A and B are shown apart, each in its own frame.
Chain A
Amino acid sequence: MLFIPPYVPEAFLTMYLPAIYAGLIVGFIATMAIAMKRQEIHILILTDLVGLAMIFVVSAVGTDLAEALILPGLVVELAETLAISEILITREMRIIEQDPRRNLSKSSSIFPQPFSLNMEIMTTAPNFIALVLIGYGIFLTGFTGGAVAGGGIVLYALSKKARGLPVLMLDGIAGVSGISWCLWIIGFLLFFVAPQYWLLSLFLAACGLLLKVASKVGLIGLLMREDIDKE
C-alpha cells in the first residue's frame, strides 16, 4: 500500500496549468472590474473575487501543504472584509453626523426603514440547521469545526428576533475568545517544548480554536441581529 508518492502525481501536474491560468483570469477580471468601478461598496464586493483567484493559485499546487496554506488565506480575507466594512459604515456615519443638514437621511433615526429577511428558512428551519452545524463542528474538532459551529451560532442568532443586551453579551464573548486564544498558544508551545504531551497540546489547540472561532463568528450573528431585525 502506497500512502504517499515520493513525487507529485501526474494528475496534479496536468491540472496545474489550467488551474493557475483560471486563477490569473479570474484575478484579471476582478481587478479590471475594480479599476472601472467608482462606488466603494461595489469595490468591496469585488475584492471578494480577488480572494477567490488567490485560492485558485494556492490550491493548484495540489499538496497537503497547499491545503494548509489555503486556510490562512481564507481567514485573512474574512477578517479584512469584516474590519473594512465596519470602517466603511463608521465613515459614513461620521460624515452624516458631522453635517446632518447636508444629508437629510439623518431622518433614518426618526423613521427607521424596517427591513426584514422574509425568507422561509429564517422562520422554520434555522434552529435545526444551527444545531446540525454546531454538532458537525464539534465532530470535526479543529479550525474548520470552529468555523462551522460558529456558522451555526450565526444562524441561530439570526433566527431569533430579540433586541437588547448586545454590549454585555459581547464583553462576555470577548473574554471567552481571549482565554481560548491563550489556550491555543500554550498548546502550540507545548508541542515544541515537550513533544511527548502532544495529545494534550493538540486538544488544547483544537478546543481553544473551536471556542475562539465559534465565539468570534457568533459576534457577526449578533451584529446582524442588531441591524436586520430592528423593528
Chain B
Amino acid sequence: MRIGVLWNKLADPKNIPRLFAFSLGIILIVGLIVPMALNPDQLYPRPAPQVQVDEGLAIAPYDRGGEVLSQPGIIKPQYPDNAEALGMITGYMSPPAQWISSISPYFGTSIYSSPGGLIDEILYYTRGFDTILESSILMMSFIIASWLSINYTMNRKNDEKEIKADVKKAINESTQVANEVKVNDLKARSKQLRRDN
C-alpha cells in the first residue's frame, strides 16, 4: 500500500481509538519481557494478608495502632513534616461501626468490615489533593451528562404535543406508516439474526 493512502486513513477519527488500542496492546505485551519486581521499601506498607485477622484485632485489616484523638497511629508517609495531625484518626470509626465492633469480636474479618479512618487519612489528609481532583472529575462528568440529558437526550417538555402531531400526521399518511412498520419489522428481524450469530 502506498504510504499516502495509509496516512489518509489516519485522518479519519473513527480509526484512531483502534489504532491507539493496538499500539497500547503492543506496549503492554512488551511489558511481559521487562524484568519486574516490587521494591520492598514502600510508603504506607500494610501487614501481610490475614495476619491481623488471625490475631483477632477489632478492626482487623485496617488496625494501625494508636487511639483516636489522643495517640497517633503508625503511618509511613512521604513527608511527615507536612502533616502535623498525622495518625490521629487512623483508628476512627463511625458511631454505628463502633457499636458493632463492641458487640462482635470478628468485626474485621468479613466484608462487613468498617473502613476506619486509615484510608480517610490518606485520601483526605496526606493525599487530599488527589481526592479533590477525583471528586472534581466525577462532578464534571456529571455536569456534562446531566446538562446533555436535561437539555437534549431526556428533554420531553413538548413531548405530548409532538406525539399528538406525529400521530395525526401518521394517520393522514397511513401508507407511509405501514411501510415504516414493515421496515421496522425487517430491521428488528435482521438485528435478531445478527445477535443469534
**B46 is an interface residue with CB less than 8 A from chain A:** yes
Dominant SS among interface residues on chain B: helix
**A156 is an interface residue with CB less than 8 A from chain B:** no
**A12 is an interface residue with CB less than 8 A from chain B:** yes
With A35-B18, A75-B134, A170-B146 as known contacts, state yes or no: A7 contacts B45, CB within 8 Å. Answer: yes
Task: Count B interface residues, CB 8 Å.
Answer: 90
For residue A90, which residues in chain B have a CB less than 8 angstroms away from its CB? 148, 152-153
Contacting B at CB under 8 A, from A6-24, are 6-13, 16-17, 20-21, 24
Say which residue of A1, A32, A79, A201 sits within 8 Å of B138 (CB atoms).
A79
Contacting A at CB under 8 A, from B102-132, are 114-115, 117-120, 122-125, 127-128, 130-132
Dominant SS among interface residues on chain A: helix
- Are A68 and B122 touching (Cβ within 8 A)? yes
- Are A202 and B89 touching (Cβ within 8 A)? yes
For residue B48, which residues in chain A have a CB less than 8 angstroms away from its CB? 5, 9-12
Q: How far is the CA of A20 from the CA of B183 in the complex (A)?
A: 50
Say which residue of B36, B75, B115, B140 sits within 8 Å of A140 (CB atoms).
B115
Task: Count A interface residues, CB 8 Å.
Answer: 94
- Are B180 and A107 touching (Cβ within 8 A)? yes
Contacting A at CB under 8 A, from B41-84, are 41-49, 51, 55, 63-65, 69, 73-76, 83-84
- Are B180 and A104 touching (Cβ within 8 A)? yes
Q: How far is the CA of A148 from the CA of B125 in the complex (A)?
A: 22
For residue B4, which residues in chain A have a CB less than 8 angstroms away from its CB? none
Q: How far is the CA of A4 from the CA of B48 in the complex (A)?
A: 9
**A78 is an interface residue with CB less than 8 A from chain B:** yes
Say which residue of A13, A37, A191, A206 sits within 8 Å of B128 (CB atoms).
A191
Q: How far is the CA of A86 from the CA of B149 in the complex (A)?
A: 7
Say which residue of A34, A35, A63 sits within 8 Å of B46 (CB atoms).
A63
Q: Pick 10 A–B contacts, CB within 8 A, sort by A.
A: A4-B45, A9-B45, A9-B47, A65-B44, A68-B130, A72-B131, A75-B138, A167-B157, A202-B92, A205-B120
